[in-house]
Structure 1
């Protein structure tokens, strides 16, 4: 089954596999292999997510076509019944010769009236026959369309099964790799460096989003009007009152962080919230989803544009429930807490940006009691 979005993801998967093949002869660290597996998982989950969307759309189309066929068949049945009654009536009473009926009129006015009446009856009969033929043709076309839609649905289901089987194998491989990687302290140190690179990559992403902000602003304004959000800058107005993205404990705060075990000093551009694997991750405010991607060091990453230059970033997530360019409401479950891109277990790394400046999320989220 083909659609523009599916073709784009298929192309991304094909390119990823091509890149893997180019480097398969090279010596790779366990961490590199782990990230390749996670990126493969991310692409596969994205494909399954979009196949689910296409499947739902196809099911809606099938239901609509089915309702249309039923309505047309009921209309056809009534037309045929009415036309049959008319023919029976003509047969029982006998059909007058049109000229005979006109010529036996008692007056000129009656002759004119009968002539007009016969014309009307004739037109009704012709139109009814024409409508019957049209309904038959339309029903036939609709049935052919539904057959094609059912075939498309079957193709989507079969492709989805292939990717689901592949995903299961990839997740088992990742589990083995991550358990092995955690036993080596060097991998933990290497991941800190990867997070620094990930932060730099994220800054580039935000900078690029800033260039296209005006295009998204119009769509966000339109969606907010439809949803009844009236404030011009709700993010700023809700400072200190914004919803927490997940229920959990902050294990790493914003700013300079010292790790006594690894003896490292790092800059945290957000906060890290420890939570159980699978815990729902929510959008802290309404906005447009700009980015769903995999960043080495951050894993699966979601960026939401809340307007007026404010962005929120959610990383290390799994089971992404939304899609790019989608408008989401405050509290929408966008993903689940996962272990993507980290050796520290299930965790959510969360950031708030204003234009190209990082902000301390604790200054913006509602105070916990």
Structure 2
């Protein structure tokens, strides 16, 4: 009974300890929610895929032998993903370290419990040996003064024997569990050591990538004159494209207003109020527009593979000092021959050539417009209805080996950041 009481007490103390640890973890999670192991594993696979994509894109740009901004962008993408890989490994190490500490704590408690059980068993055996020297079992039984005392002594001997058996069984059970926990602990420590070696390797890879980046920047710095001329050409092209898109949007606004006015006249009703800076929506286009807006952050990318090489807004030039460039959309660097897909159902409003952006395709989705530029060719024509993920063309590859899609989203005459509308990668 004493052994059972001590076991219950030990389990109670362990329970209280676990409750305290759980409450402490919950208090910590209120300020910072750690990622789950499944989430870390998923991110690891995604990061490895992104590195492979960046490697393929980088190899294509290297075929031209000369340093280019496309190569620099691919290296920067690899550095960005490499940092995420290292962060992911650190998070995995935190999980393993937590598991190791927890297992070590359990092992320590079990070892203490085992020592107590063995000590109690030794005391029991010692007491039994002393009794055996004075009496044997038969003498102990037949020395009873009455039949009732005989029965009580017999019951005592049986209980004593059962207690010894239970004690031995408990010792064996704890010993087996302890061996299993030690095996788990050794496996966890091995995983930790392996992961630490991987982390060291990935850190070396990161340093190597940063050296490549520095060398690439140094090579490009020697082409300062060419780069400045390229910046001027790019900014002029941005303004030209901006005017082209704005004109197409204004034409569609005017066209929709004319259609609404004509429809109202034919039906003998009051003309719908129109705006000079907003598309006049019919019930059908209003639903399309609402569905488009409701899917913000959930659109598939216009290309299956690639990375954002330049984001929306004003950015410092990656090589030239005190030089900034403006981007009204995002540039996605991808593989040569990559197909371009519509991100949502709509109507093709324009397919035209805008040097140096090559082929431009604009699709209307109610009051929203998506524009795809730097296409080598287009598979659609003006007025055609397209579905989500329908291929509309192929990305153009520059002479320096860079394959890059320029993508914009407008709501009427307002430019939007496309990155916030696409699925996060």
Normalised by the length of structure 1, the TM-score is 0.50
**Bigger radius of gyration among the two:** 2
